[in-house]
């Protein structure tokens, strides 16, 4: 599964640490998500979509 987290993070000027704090996960989780090495739970995908004010489908591509 691909995602636009890195692109959106750059757009909103957020570091991996900032995003990790906002969605209450470890920074390592954001690293794994951006590399596409980990598929998030629905809750985490929802939390990330709330941070960027987008829908889940706009961030995560199947």
Partner 1 sequence: MNNKRKSLMITSILVMVVIWGFIALEKGTDLFKGLDLIIFILIIVIGVIALIGAFKRDKEEKEGLTLDDELSRLIKYKSGYYAYLWSMYMWLFIFLMKDKFPNIETMLGGGILLSAAISYMAKYVVKKKLNE
Residues that bind partner 1 (CB under 8 A): 17, 20-21, 24-29, 32, 36-41, 43-44
Shortest CB 26 distance to partner 1, Å:
5
Shortest CB 12 distance to partner 1, Å:
19
Q: Find out whether 26 and 44 touch, Cβ atoms under 8 Å.
A: no
Shortest CB 24 distance to partner 1, Å:
5
Q: Find out whether 59 and 1 touch, Cβ atoms under 8 Å.
A: no
Q: Find out whether 46 and 56 touch, Cβ atoms under 8 Å.
A: yes
SS3 2: strand
Return the number of the residue (4 or 38) whose C-beta is nearest partner 1. 38
């Amino acid at each position: 599964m691909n995602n636009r987290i890195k692109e959106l993070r750059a757009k909103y000027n957020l570091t991996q640490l900032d995003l990790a704090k906002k969605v209450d996960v470890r920074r390592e989780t954001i690293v794994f998500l951006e590399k596409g090495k980990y598929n998030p739970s629905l809750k985490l995908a929802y939390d990330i979509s709330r941070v960027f004010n987008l829908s889940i489908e706009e961030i995560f591509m199947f």
